[in-house]
Structure 1
Amino acid sequence: MARLSSAPSFRPMFVHVLRVCVALAGLAGLHGAALAEPERVVAEPTAPRAPLPVAKGSLVIIGGGLRGDNADVWQKIVSLAGGKGARIAVFPSASGTPEPVANTIIGYLKKYGADAFAVPVAVRLAGSDYRKAADDTALAEKIRKADGVYFAGGDQSRITKALVREDGTRTAALEAVWDLYRRGGVVAGTSAGAAIMSSTMFHNPRAILAMLRGGVTEGQEIAPGLGFIGDDVFVDQHLLVRGRFARMIPAMLAKNYKMGLGIDEDSAMVINAQREVEVIGYSGALLIDTSQAVWDKSKPDFNVSNVRISYLDRGDRFNIITHSFTPSPDKAGGRLDPARTALRGPVYSNDILGSNAVVQLMERLIDSDQEEAIGIASGNPRSTTPEVCFEFRFTKTPESVGYISSVAEAYSVLNIRLDVRPIDIPRPLYRYR
């Protein structure tokens, strides 16, 4: 499947040719690198999380916007479910139009060899009582006997509303999904279906800048998810195209998560029982590590220092337990030499929350003679009232590592330090005469 470059369009082509030659010559030579092991937690001590569920199954966490021709992702779901003829239960619970959405997904799964069927448990499903359907024993048994499940996109709060009783206990349908997962089945979900994979999910979030200015509130911006990935990893989706990395950090700090994984659109993170992550599809994922972060909660606006951020490109692998990283095969010999950077001059972004801006900045920084890069997040430049803006400072560390592909202008970037602080920018920035 072809991949459009996420690198800046102004990058001279000769730089990439030079990098490819270096990779082919084996000058970088390393086939893997370990992300820095988490050190002492600088933030306030936290209570230990509950033990992770014992499950033999796999997760396919999709960032939304999954195209029907993305064979990498669809085939992976079917393969993990057992291949041709695998029974996959489709939950349209998040959708505002459950029936047509379920039919579309079933069509794609059948195209790639699965025997898929719809699960009629959805808040918006006309002529159906979702509470009764979720506790129907015959339906639950049908789900339990399946080889995989697929959660459609929409509003993730509809999924939890449909599958979790008002007292917080699991319905029969949700217990059946867990039984399938523990037995070795695959649990896949896109967009809202990805958000429910962690034990905390975004619920009714405000805009990113509003969250940075006003904080994250339980029951408003965040709420309990279904927790298939375990209690120690936070998950978000639509990540790069919507700049959502910036909302992950305050949510993670508020709930004491040390690791977050955010996946981009038309892409997926495949996580097996050994907790090994593989990125597949069109784009990549961001790994956010707050284990060494310092957050001053006494200040009115969001601030944090010493977050570590990494970009995992498609084909890359990461182990959640050991924190070891393995680049995609086309990057195996392409580790960048910090002494032989290709770019010169300041690295910055005046809209760090823009589509793919954070990855473009990280790619430029890792291959630059600069040690740090600045990204700005601000509101309406013509506003006549004061607005709090934010500076995102990205800094190379001794553990920072970059890889470049030998066949495409594609990077992996590991262990960049990120500091965020509020700043004042005069308003308006300009006036029309």
Structure 2
Amino acid sequence: MIYITAITFTAWLLTLTVGQNLVLIGGNLRDDNTPVWEKMAKLAGGPNVARIGVISASNANTPEGDRVIGNFARLGVKVISIPVNETRANDSLVVSLVMEQTGIFIVEDSEDKPASFWNRFTSLIRPVDLPGEPPMGVVCYESPSYKRQNLLDALRPSGIDSPVLRAIRSVLKKGGMVAGNAAIMSKSAVIVSGDSISALLTGTRFISSPRVHFSFRKEGGLALLNSDYVIESHLSEKGREVRTIRTLLESNTSRGIGIDENVALVVNNPLSLPVGKVVTALGAKSGVFYVDVSSVPFVSMTNALYENIVFSFFTVDDSLDFTSGKVIYPSWKKSMAGIEEFKSAIPSDDILSLAWPSQWRQTALQLINCNEMNVTSHSPSSIVPLVPGIDIVFDRTGAVGFGAHLPDNFSNIYVISFQGMSASVKVLRIL
């Protein structure tokens, strides 16, 4: 006769009610983005079942952690704070607490390390690295780069898993949900600082000072996604497409993912055969950028000419197989071949702009929805600082597009996805 204890039965029940999922958040996830918050709660087991721990690299919970707790609590989910500094990351009691959860949400917001005068001083002289007060009504906002480093140093110092990180991975293996800023989740390089222009000019004959220096963490992130992808957040809104491309080339990684703000990529089976599905706010046109640099010539970095960059863009309900690169579109999206809306695309005069976000995305979407095969955009040069002009050419000859009005019965929003567009990036001379 087989006897089943209440604890064993509960553990078995949880394996039926939750799935092994990693939720990659693109940054600035709004409190009112109901589809994403409800999706995370459901994947952790839902009301009366889910137990979600909010982890921060600190001695106590942080303002961002408090917001996360409030959002889950409103959904009827049991949620607690689990502060994890470098000491507590090795504490067996903290490990046990993490193991009791059916879901984990990791926030980058952290307290300064002891004797962190240098971090505080450099944050004052590098204002672009310090976004100031977090925006109201969002989580996974852009924290200073040293806070990202604090979190990674606490959970995975020098690329070695701490006991708490092993416990988080165990939560996933048991069928739980783990969520947080997409940029820290990969085992590949993690971008720490710099914008697209400083990344592009690093290693060339051009000078990008006084821009924040482009840098990335070679040891990688938390390795909660078992695929070799560089992952970026705040992608379109901060014009980080070229920054992602440069990181791929520098780190010898072929493929990358960039996720727009207020968007999530929900990855099933992240530790084995990951497949991600795009989840957005209601009525959103934003999505996920996919790029492959395996055909870019090796000499591109020193020659300041990047050719054969293949990229795609996926929107709500699209699914990506991380292993094969295959994409599955929902049945309500249809091929756009032969039904393009416009005669020509409108090039951007400042495609890497920080002041006018999403220029890359908008230009590419216009091209896939017109009768032309290519479009050339520019990024202007500047004498101070010494920044050259940049030409970026998109070619849709080998691309396929899918689009449709959202099937929500109340909006008339048309969303577009595409695969296989190519780009070349050429650095020109300074004025």
Shorter-chain TM-score: which interval?
0.7 to 0.9
Quick check: 1:69 aligned with 2:32? yes
Q: Secondary structure at the match of 1:225?
A: coil
2:291 equivalent to 1:288: yes
Q: Which one of 230, 242, 253 corresponds to residue 238 of structure 2?
A: 242
1:117 positional shift: 0.8
Equivalent residue, structure 2, for 1:343: 342
Q: How many angstroms does 1:300 deviate by?
A: 5.0
Provide the C-alpha distance between the structure 2 equivalents of 1:165 and 1:384, rounded to a whole number of angstroms: 38
Whether 2:110 is the aligned partner of 1:110: answer: no
> Residue 295 of structure 1 contacts residue 304 of structure 1 at CA under 8 Å; is this kept in 2?
no
Match of 1:164?
Answer: 156
Extract unaligned runs of 5+ from structure 1: 1-55, 122-129, 427-433
CA contact (8 A) 2:202 2:214 kept: no
Higher relative contact order (CA 8 A, sep 6+): 1
What pairs up with 1:256-275 in 2 under 5 angstroms?
Answer: 256-273=252-269, 274-275=273-274
Match of 1:391 in 2: 391
Instruction: Give the whole-Å Cα distance in 1 for the aligned partners of 2:34 and 2:385.
Output: 49
Distance in 2 separating the partners of 1:384 and 1:291: 34
CA displacement 1:28-57 (0-9 Å, x = unmatched): xxxxxxxxxxxxxxxxxxxxxxxxxxxx72
1:170-211 per-position Cα deviation (integer Å, ceiling 9, x unaligned): 222111111111222111003xxx211112343432232111
SS of match in other structure, 1:230? coil
* Residues 258, 289 of structure 2: 8 Å contact kept: yes
The 2-side partners of 1:247 and 1:145 are apart by 38
Give the Cα–Cα distance (whole angstroms) in 1 for the partners of residues 173 and 425 of structure 2: 40
Contact 1:347–1:372 under 8 Å retained in 2: no
1:187 — aligned with what?
A: 178
SS in 2 for 1:59: strand
Distance 1:162 1:358 in 2: 35
Structure 1 counterpart of 2:178, one-letter code? V
The offset of 1:341, in angstroms, is 3.0
Q: Which among 81, 91, 95 is matched to residue 55 of structure 2? A: 91
Does residue 405 (structure 1) correspond to residue 404 (structure 2)? The answer is yes
Q: 1:25-424 to 2 correspondence within 5 Å?
A: 57-85=20-48, 86-93=50-57, 98-121=61-84, 130-153=85-108, 154=143, 155-165=147-157, 168-190=159-181, 194-215=182-203, 220-223=215-218, 224-273=220-269, 274-282=273-281, 283-297=286-300, 299=302, 301=304, 303-331=305-333, 334-338=334-338, 340-345=339-344, 347-354=346-353, 355-380=357-382, 383=383, 387-398=387-398, 400-407=399-406, 408-424=413-429
Find the residue that maps to 2:418 and give its secondary structure: strand
Q: Which amino acid aligns with 2:390?
A: F
SS across alignment from 2:390: strand
Q: Which amino acid aligns with 1:234?
A: V
CA apart distance, 1:297? 4.6
Residues 241-269 of structure 1 show CA distances to partners (whole Å, capped at 9, x for unaligned) of: 01111100010111222221110111100
Distance 2:341 2:300 in 1: 39
Q: Tell whether the 8 Å contact from 1:195 to 1:201 is kept in structure 2 after alignment.
A: no
- Cα deviation for residue 152 of structure 1 reads 1.3
Q: CA deviation at 1:212?
A: 0.7
Deviation at 1:384, TM superposition (A): 6.0
Q: 1:100: how far off?
A: 2.6
Please give the alpha-carbon distance, in whole angstroms, between the structure 1 residues aligned to 2:157 and 2:427. Answer: 41
Query: How far is 1:425 from its partner?
Result: 5.5
Deviation of 1:358 (Å): 1.3
- Once the two structures are overlaid, the 10-residue window that deviates more, 276-285 or 236-245, is 276-285
AA aligned to 1:87 is R
Q: CA RMSD in A?
A: 2.5
SS of 1:89's partner is strand
Q: Aligned partners of 2:160 and 2:276: how far apart in 1?
A: 29
8 Å CA contact 1:84–1:114 kept in 2: the answer is yes
Shift of 1:78: 1.0
Residues in 1 aligned to 2:319 and 2:156: alpha-carbon distance in whole angstroms: 33
**How many angstroms apart in 2 are the aligned matches of 1:115 and 1:384?**
53
User: What residue number does 2:125 align with?
Assistant: none
* C-alpha separation in 2, matches of 1:164 and 1:322: 28
Q: Runs (4+) of structure 1 moved beyond 6 Å?
A: none
Cα deviation, residue 361, structure 1? 0.8
State the alpha-carbon separation in 2 of the partners of residues 269 and 142 from structure 1.
27
CA contact (8 A) 1:156 1:203 kept: no
CA contact 1:89–1:119 (8 Å) conserved in 2: yes
How far has the Cα of 1:96 moved from its partner?
Answer: 11
One-letter amino acid matched to 1:169:
I
Structure 2 unmatched ranges of 5 or more: 1-18, 109-142, 205-212, 407-412
Identity of aligned residues (%): 25
SS of the residue corresponding to residue 330 of structure 1 reads coil
User: Partner of 1:349: helix, strand, or coil?
Assistant: coil
Q: TM-score if structure 2 supplies the norm length? A: 0.76
Deviation at 1:99, TM superposition (A): 2.7
Distance 1:307 1:101 in 2: 36
CA shift, 1:61, in A, is 0.4
Q: 1:243 to 1:394 in 2, by over 3 A?
A: same
- Structure 1 351/169 Cα, relative in aligned 2: closer, same or farther at 3 Å? same
SS in 1 for 2:76: coil
| TM-score of the pair, normalised by structure 1 | 0.75
- Aligned equivalents of 1:280 and 1:228: distance in 2? 19
